Every structure is written in C-alpha cells, then in structure tokens.
Amino acid sequence: MFVWGTANPVGESLGYDGMYFTGGEINDMVIDRTLVGLPVKIEHKGEQVGHIVSAWQHSGRLDLLLNIDENSPSMATAVASHFVKGNVCKDLSLGYTVGVQQSVDGGLSTGKKQVSEVSIVKRGARENCHIHAFFGT
C-alpha cells in the first residue's frame, strides 16, 4: 500500500535557529534524496512497517510517498495498514535528532538535524501534517 502525506509544514525562514526544519533544510533533504529508503514506523515505536519511496516540496511543505508492505508477514505491518485505512492514524510525524552546539560565550545554537524515520500517528505534533491519500489493497 502506498501512502501520501505531509510530514513537515512550511519550513522556517532563513536565519531561524531552533528545533524545526528551515525551508532550506527541507529543500536540501529533497534534492539530496536523504529521506528515500528511511523506515516507516507506528507512533515512533517498534519495528519498521515500510519505507519512504519519495520526498518532494509542495508549496514549501515536505510531502512523502510511503510504501507499507502489506505482503509482509509482520503483525505490525498489518496493524499499520489497518490504522491508515480505518483513519485511526491520520497524521505523519518525522523522527529526528538535533545537534546542539555551545559557543565560546556559553550560548547555544542548533546544529545538524538528522531524520531517522517517519511515523504514522494518531495526532502529529505539527499542524497540517496529514495523510492525504492511500493507494493499493
């Protein structure tokens, strides 16, 4: 089953120094294809139930195409498919880490942000990060 959704709203503007992604960081992830192949999970837990097939920017948002392998014998994969089809999980959420750097004067700034997975979730932490459609059995 293929799932299309928004995983991150419009990125923050240039000069933003915080935990969210900037528009430039989203653009770099799309161009570098760093998200393709990363795992899909349920609520950021458990085993992988699929993977990211494609990532693109749509009006500044990060949209993803996910593949949930319904032919897998995994119970988690069957649950993920049921959650999407039954509208139990309606949102997407990125799982990522953020490096923090301390300057000489003691100030903190954010460093590299690294996405590790995307999850189908009941309610995402960010606004407008919804599953828009699914295709397949």
Backbone angles phi and psi of 136, in degrees to 5: 120, -170
Kindly state whether residue 136 falls inside one of the protein's structural domains. no
Does 81 map to a domain?
A: yes
- Whether residue 57 lies inside any domain: the answer is yes
Q: Which domain holds residue 82?
A: 2-127
Strand partners, 100: 110
Residue owning tokens 């994969």: 77
Is residue 135, in this structure, part of any structural domain at all? Answer: no
Q: Encoding tokens for residue 84?
A: 């999407």
Share above pLDDT 70 across residues of the chain, in percent, rounded to a whole number: 99
Residue 91 within a domain: yes
Q: What is the mean pLDDT of residues 24-53?
A: 97
Torsion sign across C-alpha atoms 7, 12, 17, 18: negative
User: Looking at residues 15-41, what average pLDDT do you find?
Assistant: 95
**Would you say residue 137 has pLDDT above 70?**
no
3-state secondary structure of 83: helix
Instruction: Judge whether 86 lies within some domain.
Output: yes
What mean pLDDT comes out for the span 50-69?
96
Pairing mode, strands 39-42 and 108-121: parallel
Name the domain count of the chain.
1
Say if 137 falls within a structural domain: no
- The residue-averaged pLDDT of 18-32 equals 95
**122 lies in some domain:** yes
